[in-house]
Amino acid sequence: MGKRALIFGVNGFVGAHLARELVSHGYEVCGSDLRDDCAPPEVGLYASCDLADPEGVAKVVADAKPDCIVNLAAISSVGQSWRMPALTMRVNVEGALNVMEAARALDAMPRVLLVGSSEEYAPKDGPLNEGDPTVSNNPYGISKATQERFAALYAERYGLEVCLTRSFNHTGPGQTPNFVLPSWCRQAAAIERSGKPGKMIVGNLKVARDFSDVRDVVRAYRLILEGGRAGEAYNVGSGRALPLGELLEIVIGFCDQEIEVRIDPELIRPTDTPCVCCDASKLHEQLGWAPERSIEDTLREIYGLELAVG
């Protein structure tokens, strides 16, 4: 029988892809999320749970008896973290603590993977590596850096095999149009279907970001879960930062209609790091991971799905 994995936040964009990745590699997948029903069909045992409820988390973990746990549940928007800093700390930090406490309460402690973010890092001109300072300038990044400190403590104090990621931007099929690249693909597909020229509303096109395909990202999560070093963090990103303006041109290139681009000042953050790029050499050297999908191909796929839905 394969290993049993428990995914918190399984109903989210990444959760569905991770469930498929694990099942395709022989895992039995259990899941938990806030909703009463489970979205991914690959999930067997499912229970709704608020990550900030320690008793609820403990029950989910005790019932599942997993060999490994992945925590994807979080307040994951920088903007939302500014509006609700206390809730961000409660879900992201207390939630992670609840998962680790539940894990160490089992007779056989499962391996745990806690997902962090590139938002933990201080801005830097070149690619970011795991040795760079985690001096975030927003509540979300601070919450994820704090999660790491506790994870290192639990690894050292209790021998809990907990690994961490610092994940950079990722996208792919199923991501909601609240995010920039799916939003652009949806707008461009709608213009294409209209058969006439149209306008696209965008934000800051001057910043450069490192985008990966979500399927490459969940493959990295599986590899870290299986072979990552306890108490350590791993960058997950493509190593290629492209200006958003260049990514927009790729999306517009899929459309045969004429498109006018309009910048909405409301979509531009007051402060935005000019360039965020990942150095994933640690992940490559230790676990053999490398991205398999280009962002161009991923964008084409998202655009094609939006075109078909319409």
pLDDT of residue 267: 77
CATH of the domain at 187: 3.90.25.10
What number is the average pLDDT over the span 170-194? 95
CA 105 – CA 97 distance, rounded (Å)? 12
What number is the average pLDDT over the span 177-184? 94
User: Does residue 206 share a domain with residue 127?
Assistant: no
User: Does residue 182 share a domain with residue 51?
Assistant: no
At 310, the pLDDT band (50, 70, 90 cuts) reads low
Of 51, 24, 57, nearest to 40 by C-alpha is: 24
User: Does residue 243 share a domain with residue 231?
Assistant: no
What number is the average pLDDT over the span 91-115? 97
Q: Pairing mode, if any, of strands 170-171 and 212-213?
A: parallel
State the residue range of the domain holding 41: 4-170+213-236
The answer to whether 179 and 247 have CB atoms below 8 angstroms apart is: no
At 270, the pLDDT band (50, 70, 90 cuts) reads low
User: Does residue 25 share a domain with residue 43?
Assistant: yes
Span 213-256, pLDDT tens digits: 999 999 999 999 999 999 999 999 999 999 999 999 999 999 99
**Residue 131 CB coordination number (10 Å):** 7
User: Does residue 82 share a domain with residue 227?
Assistant: yes
What number is the average pLDDT over the span 168-188? 95
At 137, the pLDDT band (50, 70, 90 cuts) reads confident
What is the overall mean pLDDT for the chain? Answer: 95
- Is position 11 within any domain? yes
User: Does residue 181 share a domain with residue 134?
Assistant: no
CA 96 – CA 51 distance, rounded (Å)? 8
Span 138-167, pLDDT tens digits: 999 999 999 999 999 999 999 999 999 999
pTM of the model: 0.95
The DSSP line for 190-219 is HHHHHTS-EEEEE---S-EEE-EEHHHHHH
pLDDT at 1 over 60: no
